[in-house]
Structure 1
Amino acid sequence: MRPRSTVLAALVTALGIGLAGCGQQPPVSQTHSGGQADTSSQADPAARWADGYCSAVTHLVRTLANLPEIDPSSPEQASRTSSRLLSSVVDGIDQTVEGLDRVGPPPLPGDDQARGDLLKQFSSVRSRADTARERLDTATDASTTKTALSDARATLDDVAALDVLQALNATPELSAAGKRAPDCQQLVVPPAPR
């Protein structure tokens, strides 16, 4: 059982597709983290917003890249390690949502619906992950453990289906701003070798 690789592969693919055009170098080659805008984006509110947005979703990307392994050696171990994995996912979502709350709505009128939709999706997936983790923690027999593990896997599939860049790609203006934002450049996935 290796849902970790499935989740990570799906997320990396989504990120690669979503930011395929963002491979140019930022205008000023100052890299930083934490959503702090450099001097090149001070006069560009959309790029500053995109930078903060990308910094926020990086929390979830890093969490998914560093998920704990699931130990399938026994139902008890699979349950215990899956619970830890789901706790990590919940923490990553929480950090991302906090970051998105700090960033606030985009600076362009009418562009906040995609961000709001994403926050609702995060809330729903987080709730399902927490419920699945609780079921794993309270499973008392093989049947309930098997059901809880199935729920956990479905929840991880839900996480993999999240389009963390949907608000950034909601409009051409925000998508272009992402190309100018240093933290968005860090999310670019290099093309696979042929």
Structure 2
Amino acid sequence: MRPRWTVFAALATGIGIGLAGCGQQPSPTQPRSGGQADTANQADPAARWADGYCGAVNHLVRTLTTLPEIDPSSPQQAARTSSRLLSSVVDGIDQTVSSLDRVGPAPLPGGTAARADLLGEFASVRKRADDVRQRLDSASGTSATKTALGDARSAIDDVARLDVLKGLDATPALSAAGKRASGCQQLVVPPAPR
């Protein structure tokens, strides 16, 4: 299951364009709600766990597709709107982490480690986004504001680079469980033919 994160990539591109003052972010397609174990998953604990894992991640994807727009009309306005955007990212990560905590122990080897690795990545990205948001809020002067805006773009790029499904590829059993989980299928976009 090698997913391509087109939602994250489109988000990062759109935000980058907004921060560069060349336009506004696009509105990527919003995925269906995930995390609800269907009837088939009730009898399959591995698929049910994978569905909860992917459902938590799906929440973050939904959050990121509804982020506030960046107003590039002036450095000050871009800083204010970027701060709101980063605040939404932090809130989305917090809610996703909370959902991942509720998933419980994995019934397959490698699942608990995959979740722990993802939580560590989320903690790092969240801290960076929150630090940049605080710098944007306290920046005074055009130079400090522009530096903070560059840092904001970099922080959003960090979010876009998250490979949140790589943990499900850690073992063949986890990968198979992810393929049986409807919440995971909502997150996977088949790679383009070469």
Q: Which residue of 2 aligns with 1:97?
A: 97
Q: Which residue of 2 aligns with 1:171?
A: 171
CA contact (8 A) 1:10 1:161 kept: no
Distance 2:113 2:51 in 1: 18
CA contact (8 A) 2:49 2:106 kept: yes
User: Judging changes above 3 Å, is the alpha-carbon distance between structure 1 residues 33 and 60 closer, same or farther for their aligned structure 2 residues?
Assistant: closer
Q: Which residue of 2 aligns with 1:59?
A: 59
Gaps of 5+ in 2: 1-5, 13-31
SS at 1:167's partner residue? Answer: helix
Q: 1:24-45 CA distances to partner (integer Å, 9 max, x unpaired)?
A: xxxxxxxx84523222112211
Gaps of 5+ in 1: 1-5, 13-31
Q: Which residue of 2 aligns with 1:120?
A: 120
Q: Which residue of 2 aligns with 1:186?
A: 186
User: Judging changes above 3 Å, is the alpha-carbon distance between structure 1 residues 168 and 145 closer, same or farther for their aligned structure 2 residues?
Assistant: same
CA contact (8 A) 2:83 2:136 kept: yes
Note the aligned Cα RMSD (angstroms): 2.4
Is residue 2:25 matched to residue 1:38? no
Amino acid at match of 1:159: V
In the TM superposition, what is the alpha-carbon distance from 1:143 to its structure 2 partner?
A: 1.4
Distance 2:121 2:64 in 1: 17
In the TM superposition, what is the alpha-carbon distance from 1:173 to its structure 2 partner?
A: 0.7
Distance 2:109 2:125 in 1: 28
User: Judging changes above 3 Å, is the alpha-carbon distance between structure 1 residues 7 and 84 closer, same or farther for their aligned structure 2 residues?
Assistant: farther
Identity of aligned residues (%): 76
TM-score (norm 2): 0.79
Distance 1:191 1:11 in 2: 18
TM-score (norm 1): 0.79
Distance 1:84 1:182 in 2: 32
Distance 2:110 2:73 in 1: 51
Q: Which residue of 1 aligns with 2:151?
A: 151
SS at 1:156's partner residue? Answer: helix
SS at 2:149's partner residue? Answer: helix
Amino acid at match of 2:169: N
Amino acid at match of 2:89: V
CA contact (8 A) 1:7 1:157 kept: no
